[in-house]
Amino acid sequence: MQADAASTSPPPAVRRDAAWQFARMARDYWNCERKWTVRGAVLSLFVLTAAQVGLVIWVSYWHRELFDALEDRSLSEFLRLILTFLLIFALTMGVTALHMHVKRWVQLDWRRWMTSLLLDEWLSHANHYRLQFSSGEHDNPDGRIAEDIRIATEAAVGLAHSLLYSILILGSFIDILLSVSGSANLPGTEYSVPGYMVLMAFVYAGVGTIFGLLLGRPLIRTTNRLQSVEASLRFGLARAREHSEAIALMHGEPLERRSADRLFKDVGRGWDRQTFAYLGIISFSTGYGTLLPVFPILIAAPQYIAGAMSLGLLMQAAQAFQRLTSALSWPIDNLGELARCRASIDRIVSLHEEMLELEAQDRQKVTGKEKIELQQSVHAELDIRHLQLASPSGQVLLDDFNLHVRHGERILITGDPAVTISLFKAVAGLWPWGSGVISLPAGHNMMFIPQRPFLPEGSLRAVLSYPHDASHYTAPCLHRALECAGIAWLAPRLDDHDDWGRALPLRAQQRLGIARLFLQQPGWVFIEEATDAFDAKDEIDTLELLHHELPSATLLNISLHNGLDHFYDRKLVLNRLRGGRVRPPQAAATDAKTGTAGTTAPATKLLPET
C-alpha cells in the first residue's frame, strides 16, 4: 500500500491529463458494442431534461397568470388555473420519475462497463500481482474499482444533467426576463438600461461565482486527501480481518488497534481540513442563497410601484431572475460534487494508466537486459537460456543460468529461497525483473502450486475444482483426489460452504493444493514448497502417489527438506554469492539418485553451493 504517495493531490497538469483521459474512456463507452442502446438512453435523458425545462417555463407563466388573477380578484380565472396546475403537477411527476429512471440506468450501465474494463485490465496477465511492484499512484486498486468508479460515473452523469439543465434554463429565462423586466433609468439621469434585470443577474451570479471559486479552491485538494486516507483505513481494517488468526495467535491486537487509531487520526485530520475548506464556501453560499429571493423583488419593485408592471409580471420577473441566477451559479453550487468527482477520476485514471503501462511493457519487443522473454516451444520441453534474475530493486540474484528439462523428468530445486522462488515466479510469468529467454513446453498444460494455495469462499467442490467451474469434475473424481491427498475426511463436506482459508489448518490447505494436482492431472508440475507443513512420512507418501498417479508428468519441486533426493532424476542447488551476485554456473551436476558428481550437457548446469 502506498498511502503516503497517494495522499497528496496531483499537480494541476496531471489533473488536466486525468480529466482528458477520463473523457476518452467516456468516448469509448459511447462507442461500445451496445452503442445504440447507450446513445438512445442518453438522447432520452436529453429530451426528458428539455421537458423538465419546458415545464419550469410553463410554471413561470402560470405564476404570472395566478398573481394577475389574484390582483384582479377573478374567481373563474383562478379555478381555471387550478385545473391547469393539476395537469402541470401530473406531467412534472411523470417526467421526473421517467428522467430519474433513465439517469440511474445510464449511471449503472456506465459503471458496469467501466468496472468490466478495469477488472479485465487488473485481472489479466497477472497485472493485479505485478502492480504491487510498480511505481506510481495505484494504492488500493480494489477500492478504486469498487468505490471510485461508482462515485465518478454517478457524479459525472448527475453533473452533466445539471449543467445541461442550467444551460437550457439560461437560454430560456434570459428571453423571459428581457421581455418582462423592460428598461430602467439610471438614478439621477435620463439614461435607460434595457433588460437591466438580465444585466443584474449576470453581475450577481458573476460576483458569487468568483468569490465561491476563491473560497472553494482548497476543497478539491482536501477532498482528494480525504478519499485517499479513507481508502487506507478500509485497506488496513480489511488486512487485519484477512490475517485475524495470525494476529490472534501472536496477541497482536494492541498493535493493530494502534495502527487503526493512527489511520483514523489521518481520516480525522483529512476530515477537519475538508471541514475548514467547506466553512468559507458554505458561509458565503448561505448568504448568497438567502439574498437571492429578495434581491430581484427589491430591484423590480420601483417599476411595480410606478405602475409599469403588474403584480404577475413582478413575480414572473423575480422568478426568472432566480432561475437565471441559479443557472449562472452552477459552478459554485456544484463545487463540492465537482471536487468529489475529480478526486475519483484522478484515482481511476491513475490505475488505468498504470495497467496500460504494464500491457505496453508486455507488447514491447525488447532484447538484452530489459526483460525476461517467455516463449512457446515447439517441443514438449522446458528450455531456459541465459537467464538473469534480479530483485525489484535491481540486485542480481541469478546470472547466466541455463536449464533444459525434458518431458517426464523429476527435478529437485533447493538453495537460497530468494533465488528459487524468483525462478518459480519467472517461469510462471510473474517475475519481469531480469533478462533471458524461457521457452515453455508445447502441448502440455503447466500447473503451479504455491506454498499456500488460494482457497476462495464457496463450496469445497468449487475450491477443489478451482480455477475451473464447480461442475467441471464428477463426484468420484473429486473423492479420488481428496483420498490421494490424504484428506478423504473432507469428502462428505464437498457441498458445504465455508471460508476454507480460515476453517482449515495450513497442512490441510496444502493438501487441498496437492489434491488439485491429482484432480486436474497436468503434464507439467512446478511446486513451491507446497509440502513444507507435512511431516517426513506424509511428504514421502505424497511424492510416491504423485509418481503413481501422474507417471508421465514432469515435476520441478522447490523444497528445503532433506532425504527426498531418491525421488528425483536431478537436483539443482541455487545459492547467491555475497554481494548479491551468483557465481557463473559450472558444467557439473549431481546425480540425485547416486549422489555422485558427473559431467552433463551444458543445458543442465548446476550452481554449486557456496
430-482 pLDDT, tens digit per residue, is: 887 888 899 998 866 888 888 888 888 788 998 898 888 888 889 999 999 99
User: What is the model's pLDDT at position 605?
Assistant: 38
Q: CATH 1.20.1560.10 spans which residues of the chain?
A: 17-362
What are the residue ranges in the chain where pLDDT is below 70? Answer: 1-16, 134-138, 182-195, 216, 245-246, 361-370, 443-444, 577-610
Homologous superfamily (CATH) of 17-362 is ABC transporter type 1, transmembrane domain (1.20.1560.10)
Collapsing DSSP to helix, strand or coil, 556 comes out as strand
User: What is the model's pLDDT at position 186?
Assistant: 55
Q: How far apart are CA 523 and CA 382, in angstroms?
A: 12
Kindly calculate the radius of gyration of the chain based on its CA atoms and give it in whole angstroms: 35
Report how far apart, in Å, the C-alpha atoms of 152 and of each of 33, 119, 148 are. Answer: 22, 16, 6
Phi, then psi, of 555 in degrees rounded to 5: -125, 125
User: What is the model's pLDDT at position 428?
Assistant: 85
User: What is the model's pLDDT at position 443?
Assistant: 66
CATH of segment(s) 372-574: 3.40.50.300
Point out which residues pair with 437 in neighbouring strands.
373, 385
Q: CATH 3.40.50.300 spans which residues of the chain?
A: 372-574
User: pTM for this structure?
Assistant: 0.63
The three three-digit cell numbers of residue 589, written as one number:
551436476
User: What is the model's pLDDT at position 582?
Assistant: 42
Point out which residues pair with 403 in neighbouring strands.
384
| Residue whose grid cell is 543460468 | 401
Long-range pairs for 396-400: beta carbons < 8 A, 24 or more residues apart: 396/580, 396/581, 396/582, 397/422, 397/434, 397/576, 397/580, 397/582, 398/422, 398/423, 398/434, 398/574, 398/576, 398/582, 398/607, 399/581, 399/582, 399/584, 400/584, 400/585
Q: How far apart are CA 64 and CA 59, in angstroms?
A: 9
Asked whether the bond before 302 is cis by omega within 30 degrees of 0, the reply is no
User: What angle in degrees, to the nearest 10, is found between the helix axes of 12-30 and 75-122?
Assistant: 100
**Residues in the chain, how many?**
610
First and final C-alpha spacing in the chain = 36
